[in-house]
Amino acid sequence: MTDTVSLTLAKRRSEILAELSAAAHPAPVLVAVSKTQPDEKLEAMLAAGQRVFGENKVQEAQAHWADRRAKYPDLELRLIGPLQTNKSEDAVALFDVIETLDREKLARALAKAMDKLDRRVPVFIQVNTGEEPQKAGVLPDDLEALLACAREECGLDVQGLMCIPPVDEPAGPHFALLAKLAKRHGLTGLSMGMSSDYAVAASFGSTHVRVGTALFGAR
């Protein structure tokens, strides 16, 4: 790990944390999106004090973090990418929070995996606030039914909601909608905001912002 990389990433992290603190009190948790990042940058971010990381794919996350768990017992790993039901057991074994629950079949698979491994992992429900056909996430009108299945049938610990607004629309209205839905259903967690809009998300009450490019630099 070069000093230049380490100093650059530490500086970016410090600047983003300052922006978040200025935008909201309390500031949302910074989730460093570490997908496709090389070991050098992961080690630099860990050296800077970052402990909460988001990964999109189970297999890549295993490669990044399986051997680092012992060295960093305070690590928190969050799955922020779509999850196939056949990967549920691997996801439950590795991640501390799963943010992308979006269908009843997955809720049942996660519950089964948690029972098998005797490990209870909190979940967020991903909401497709833009109702985009190509994007994962439950539609806003179907959230109540999925929430009931996850909570009552599956016994999952649903702690919040997550969204990824359409790239060609202002993010604010989508963040406002997600916050409204969370409040309606008694959920306190709001995972919203990425590299281009994390400060906006903080102002709308985000509890977790998922930042990749603005933190690590362009891939």
Q: Would you place residue 219 in the very low, low, confident or very high pLDDT band (cuts 50, 70, 90)?
A: confident
Query: Mean per-residue pLDDT for 176-180?
Result: 98
| pLDDT score at 42 | 96
Q: Would you place residue 2 in the very low, low, confident or very high pLDDT band (cuts 50, 70, 90)?
A: low
Condensed to tens digits (0 to 9), the pLDDT of residues 67-117 reads 998 899 999 999 999 999 999 999 999 999 999 999 999 999 999 999 999
- Nearest partner of 121 among 132, 109, 131, judged by Cα: 109
- Nearest partner of 129 among 67, 189, 158, 172, judged by Cα: 172
Token pair in block for residue 174: 């989508």
- Give, as one character, the DSSP assignment of residue 191: E
User: What CA–CA distance (Å, rounded) separates 91 from 80?
Assistant: 11
Rounded to the nearest integer, the mean pLDDT of the chain is: 96
Residue 209 pLDDT more than 60? yes
In CATH, what class is 3-216? alpha beta
User: What CA–CA distance (Å, rounded) separates 191 from 94?
Assistant: 19
| pLDDT score at 5 | 85
Condensed to tens digits (0 to 9), the pLDDT of residues 112-162 reads 999 999 999 999 999 999 999 999 999 999 999 999 999 999 999 999 999
- Contact between 203 and 23 under an 8 Å Cβ cutoff? The reply is yes
| pLDDT score at 188 | 97
Residue 1 pLDDT more than 60? no
- Contact between 128 and 136 under an 8 Å Cβ cutoff? The reply is yes
Condensed to tens digits (0 to 9), the pLDDT of residues 11-33 reads 999 999 999 999 999 999 999 99
- Give, as one character, the DSSP assignment of residue 82: -
Residue 3 pLDDT more than 80? no
| pLDDT score at 35 | 92
In the chain, where the domains are located = 3-216
| pLDDT score at 218 | 82
Residue 182 pLDDT more than 80? yes
